Amino acid sequence: MIRTLIVDDDPLTLELHRTYLDRLEGFVVSGECAGARAAASAVLEKPGPGSFDLVLLDITMPDGSGVDVLRALRAKAAAVDVIAITGVRDAETVRQMAALGVFQYLVKPFPFAVFRERLLAYRTHREQAGATDGEATQAEIDALLGRTTGRISIPKGLSADSLDRVVAAIRAAGALSAREAAERLGMSRVAVRRYLEHLAADGVVSREGRYGARGRPETEYRWIRPSG
């Protein structure tokens, strides 16, 4: 079982993430913290057997930031993986967390399907890393480091060319609804939404509600992956 510490200053978010984890096989909630200092202490005071394997870490908290927590853990060489779960999306924070070895960076809000996909990807990473022994191949090294080739995944049923077009459109605009993207690309709204939802699940774009020109609620997709 992957022993998980949930860190968030919002009690409702703590409860939500606990409920999400309870629905996933292979994970167990071993602790909860509502602040940065408590999170760092919880990990650093519980080394060795029985320690946490994974921390779901908020960034903005009243007594410190998730960046500070992760920096403290790395300074003490704490052997724990971290997935940032936050509403903070500025590129500098993402870069700092990446430099400190965050496994994934998940932007709120998101549905359970996205949470499930990211946590199962982490579970697969742990399984692959644990199975590696002796000399490692490049793929095994990437797995040990928690990295991919950096290319957006393409599931069955989606076209690489169409995905590239959708990516180019949303990167150029910054934010688009499925309707707007469809009009720009000359594609059907339903088809474009499939690509945008995949990009959201892949952590490349965020999803937010907004009202269209006619007052009807729309979902806006915003590019969040840092360039470079």
Task: Name the percent of the chain lying above pLDDT 70.
Answer: 81
Which one of 144, 168, 189 terminates a domain? Answer: 144
pLDDT at 213 > cutoff 60 = no
Q: Evaluate whether residue 152 is within a structural domain.
A: no
Q: What is the CA radius of gyration of the chain?
A: 19
Q: What average pLDDT does this structure show over 62-86?
A: 91
Average pLDDT rounded to a whole number, residues 11-28: 94
* Domain hosting residue 183, numbered range: 160-223
Give residue 124's pLDDT. Answer: 80
How confident is the model over 111-135, as pLDDT tens digits? 888 899 889 888 887 876 665 556 6
Same domain, 107 and 207: no
CATH code for position 124 = 3.40.50.2300
Average pLDDT along the chain: 83
What is the tally of helices (H) and strands (E) in the chain?
A: 9, 10
Residue finishing a domain among 144, 170, 202: 144
- How do strand 27-33 and strand 2-7 relate by DSSP bridges? parallel
Share of the chain above pLDDT 90, in %: 39
Binned at pLDDT 50, 70 and 90, residue 98 comes out as confident
Per-residue pLDDT tens over the stretch 193-208: 999 988 887 777 888 8
* DSSP states along 18-68: HHHHHTSTTEEEEEEESSHHHHHHHHHTS-STT--SEEEE-SEETTEEHHH
Tell me whether residue 24 is exposed, middle or buried, using C-beta atoms within 10 angstroms of its C-beta: 0 to 12, 13 to 18, 19 or more.
Answer: middle
Closest CA to 85 of 178, 183, 164, 203: 203
Omega of the bond leading into 109 within 30 degrees of 0 (cis): yes
Structure tokens at 170: 């949303």
Tell me how many domains the chain contains.
Answer: 2
pTM of this structure: 0.63
Report the C-alpha gap between 57 and 86 in whole angstroms.
8
Q: What percent of the residues of the chain are helix, what percent strand, and what percent coil, each to the nearest 5?
A: 45, 20, 35
Return the beta strands (E) in 142-184 as ranges: 175-177
Same domain, 217 and 112: no
How large is the average pLDDT for residues 59-75? 93
Q: Are residues 174 and 61 in the same domain?
A: no
The answer to whether residue 30 is domain-embedded is yes
Q: When comparing pLDDT for 145 and 60, which is higher?
A: 60
- Statement: residue 84 has pLDDT above 90: yes
Mean pLDDT on 17-32: 94
